[in-house]
Structure 1
Amino acid sequence: MAGSDVKGVRRARPSYPRCFGARCAPALASLAVSGAAIAAEPPAQAREYDLLISGGRVIDPANGRDGILDVAVRRGRIARVAVDIDPARARAVVDASGLIVAPGFVDIHTHVFFGTTDGTYLHNTYEALAPDSFAPRSCTTTVVDAGSSGWRDVALFKAQTIAHSKTRVLAFLNIVGGGMRGGRAEQDLGDMDAARTAAAARAHGDEVVGVKVAHYAGPAWDPVLRAVEAARASGGRVMVDLGHHVPELSLRELLLTHLRPGDIFTHVYADIPGRTTVVDESGRVRPYVLEAARRGVVFDLGHGAGSFVFDQAVPALAQGLLPDAISTDMRLKSLNGAMGDMVNVVSKMLNLGMSLPDLVRRSTAAPAAIIGRPELGTLGEGAAADVAVLRLDTGRYGYVDTRGARIDGDRRIECAMTVRDGRVLWDRDGLNARRYVPR
């Protein structure tokens, strides 16, 4: 890792040969006696960049970049993005030739709060995952927990998970004070307090980005109305997971009456009980859904373990109803199911016809703006050095929806390296490691 010592020589080393196999033999032989070369390098303290990611295709929609560029990092921030930055100016150099360099992904729909009180697991049925167990390996540097905690336990969430994660963790507060406990607890209108939710959101403004409604099965709009009230009072937005209502609540009323521009309708391509689908039985996107999109309601993918079907996604994409944000609805069942992880969802949408630059935008700058954090999802100079290094592979691949249907694809995106605040969190191929030199 950058800054570590190897037999007294710091990680800052001469650039190793960009070659493979037998082609490296002459260069490796010379490196075996390269002490003089190391001594001739500029002193580490004279180098102005901590990390240089060179020669990759930089896709940075927030700044209108798409081309072969170098990205220099200093003190956890993007210091410079330009052509042919001198590698001698960097302590560590990553060769990103043939790879894609993008802002770190921003996943606005995950579940990462376990929530224990007196040893009792409150959220074990929802299979929360530690952020660092999945996010770095999928090139995700920011996750947003979607309503696992409420005003009663957000402080516990902060102490338990947010404060100890290398991944950046933000949150939507559940309108239910006790959060996503499941069962009758999420049907308790008496625990849906707009004023207390708003107060908690303001008190934890560094982490809280809005208010979540989910899993309520009653016939009333009270949870949505109270969530909107709390979000309005705290300056956030609302995310609504609609479904399982008896009798069914009107999707049209939700989208055109209750949600404000900037509020989020998640699981856009779902087909679940108690909720009207966005695509009707004839295969057409419902006109009022398109009207809601025009008025600024945000449509979040929210793949999850049961909320993405090709019967909805394929015709919706063909008719222009694209997800404003690519997100996973990450939990254990999703991770081990058709969803997989963030790069798998992006790959799936790529093979459904979305372009790579547009997918990067809807996984970085767009979700960052949606949650009111435009300083994320960008490689702009001075921004946090959250970087995804991606590999686009071609071959024969299969992608599955949550009902077990498969499509075949010829492209797959893999996460090669993840950098958050200038620190390498995932490096599958050892791009930032020193090359082994036989003795």
Structure 2
Amino acid sequence: MADLVLQGGRIIDPSQGVDRVTDIAFAEGKVVAIGDGLKGDVVRDVTGKIVTPGLIDLHTHVYWGGTSLGVDADMFARQSGVTTCVDTGSAGPGNFHGFRKHVIENSAIRILAYLHVSFAGIYGFSKRVMVGEGQDMRLLAARDAVEVARANPDVIIGIKIRLGRTASGTAGIAPLDVALDVADETGLPLMVHIDEPPPTYEEILERLRPGDVLTHCFRPFPNAPTRGDGTIKPQVIAARERGVIFDIGHGKGSFAWKTARTMIGHGFLPDTISSDVHTLCIDGPAYDLVTTMSKFLHLGLDLPQIIAATTLHPARALRRPELGSLKIGSVGEASVLAVKDGRFPLEDVRDVVETAERRIVAEGVVLNGKWWHPA
């Protein structure tokens, strides 16, 4: 007998090519069956709803209490139907131990991390103080980052660096050299933040390796992936061809309707859709992962494409094949979603508001084979 059965939902699991209405059962923290008429100790009717593998938000900031930009991971997960938050560089080697002890180990959901090369991570990020941690090369702690990454392989899945006028200032692209060195030494992928130049979008892409992630990939001008004539920069095409991963990372300044429409119009879809949730965007314009997903529904992507970009593809980027799937024996995690009809204003980071006729909302979460949301 299963511990939990979700009955009658539309199961969308891109890892198996599954898209049908049926039941799914969980026992002992695992997926144990998919099919009709399943029995369990607890049965929840999810008719009319969508059941997916546990959503993975590949770009979040959840070092709550330890950094000024961190939000509460469990609160965010309940709101957005997320089972795995990937923190992208909130902590560096100087404060990762506190992040692990006080946040990661105490969270109900899974938290994985890209470790920042900056010793104190992203330490100067608020409404009143904005100091780019890459501006001072003295803070880039390569040896410390390698030591901390090697000591925490269960939760540190990559290395993070932030580049741009705000993040690295006059240091420009030089912090990327340090980050690439650390990534090479540890054998981990790199995630690179990009804001306004310098350096340019093209300069950064030319240095990235297969499996590295460029986040904020649909950002607006300046430093957009598109040119003024409406074409995609050739360096973007070349980077995808060699295996660079393009992540949305919506956040406060990194998603524009104009850029997204141009990219999608040329058939260039993001590999992963993520929120980049933090204190300065959780109340808008990003809000959460399901809102970001809703923007791509409005842009014409279908549900299986959007689900793949928030389950299967981020699991591959993380090199964690046990995640992002509802295959028998997979971790007992699922997200329950619904698509609502109506009129929903959705803004980008340039305050351009479009009205969507459909919106994705979170209806529930399964963790460790148990119903978790709402409490």
Among candidates 212, 216, 226, match of residue 263 of structure 1:
212
Among candidates 385, 388, 402, match of residue 332 of structure 2:
385
Alpha carbons 2:85, 2:111 under 8 Å: kept? yes
Letter matched to residue 20 of structure 2? G
Partner of 2:190: 238
> Which one has a bigger Cα radius of gyration?
1
Kindly indicate which of the two structures has a greater share of residues assigned to strand: 2
After superposition, where does 1:138-157 map in structure 2 within 5 Å?
Answer: 138-157=80-99
Alpha carbons 2:7, 2:43 under 8 Å: kept? yes
Deviations 1:191-242 (A, max 9, x none): 2132321221111111101111111122443311211121122221111112
Find the aligned partners of 1:255 and 1:84 in 2 and give their Cα distance: 50
Deviations 1:45-80 (A, max 9, x none): xxx210001111110111121111211000111111
Unaligned runs of 5+ in 1: 1-47, 117-122, 429-439
What percent identity do the matched residue pairs reach?
34
After superposition, where does 1:157-236 map in structure 2 within 5 Å?
Answer: 157-182=99-124, 183=131, 185-214=133-162, 215-236=167-188
Please say if 1:73 is aligned against 2:26.
yes
Find the aligned partners of 2:18 and 2:242 in 1 and give their Cα distance: 28
TM-superposed deviation, 1:150:
0.7
Alpha carbons 1:217, 1:244 under 8 Å: kept? no
Alpha carbons 1:304, 1:329 under 8 Å: kept? yes
Partner of 1:23: none
Unaligned runs of 5+ in 2: 125-130
Among candidates 24, 44, 54, match of residue 104 of structure 1:
54
Among candidates 312, 316, 319, match of residue 369 of structure 1:
316
After superposition, where does 1:281-320 map in structure 2 within 5 Å?
Answer: 281-320=228-267
Find the aligned partners of 1:231 and 1:136 in 2 and give their Cα distance: 33
Higher relative contact order (CA 8 A, sep 6+): 2
CA RMSD, Structure 1 to Structure 2 (Å)? 1.6
Among candidates 280, 287, 308, match of residue 227 of structure 2:
280
Deviations 1:407-434 (A, max 9, x none): 2221111111111112322139xxxxxx
Alpha carbons 1:328, 1:339 under 8 Å: kept? yes
Partner of 1:333: 280
Kindly indicate which of the two structures has a greater share of residues assigned to helix: 1
TM-score by length of 2: 0.93
Partner of 1:342: 289
Find the aligned partners of 1:185 and 1:52 in 2 and give their Cα distance: 47
Q: Secondary structure at the match of 1:55?
A: strand
Closer, same or farther in 2 for the Cα pair 1:94/1:184, shift >3 Å?
A: closer
Q: Secondary structure at the match of 1:52?
A: strand
Closer, same or farther in 2 for the Cα pair 1:296/1:114, shift >3 Å?
A: same
Misfit runs of 4+, over 4 Å:
none
Closer, same or farther in 2 for the Cα pair 1:331/1:54, shift >3 Å?
A: same
TM-superposed deviation, 1:164:
0.5
After superposition, where does 1:20-99 map in structure 2 within 5 Å?
Answer: 48-85=1-38, 87=39, 90-99=40-49
Find the aligned partners of 1:392 and 1:317 in 2 and give their Cα distance: 22
Closer, same or farther in 2 for the Cα pair 1:176/1:83, shift >3 Å?
A: same
Closer, same or farther in 2 for the Cα pair 1:94/1:179, shift >3 Å?
A: same
TM-superposed deviation, 1:253:
2.5
Find the aligned partners of 2:173 and 2:132 in 1 and give their Cα distance: 17
Letter matched to residue 191 of structure 1? L
Alpha carbons 1:285, 1:316 under 8 Å: kept? yes
Q: Secondary structure at the match of 1:91?
A: strand
Letter matched to residue 395 of structure 1? G
Alpha carbons 1:219, 1:249 under 8 Å: kept? no
Alpha carbons 2:49, 2:337 under 8 Å: kept? yes
TM-superposed deviation, 1:251:
2.2
TM-superposed deviation, 1:108:
1.0
Deviations 1:261-312 (A, max 9, x none): 110111011126xx52101112211122112111111110000012111121
Find the aligned partners of 1:350 and 1:311 in 2 and give their Cα distance: 15
Alpha carbons 1:270, 1:277 under 8 Å: kept? yes
TM-superposed deviation, 1:84:
2.4
Alpha carbons 1:151, 1:178 under 8 Å: kept? yes
TM-score by length of 1: 0.80
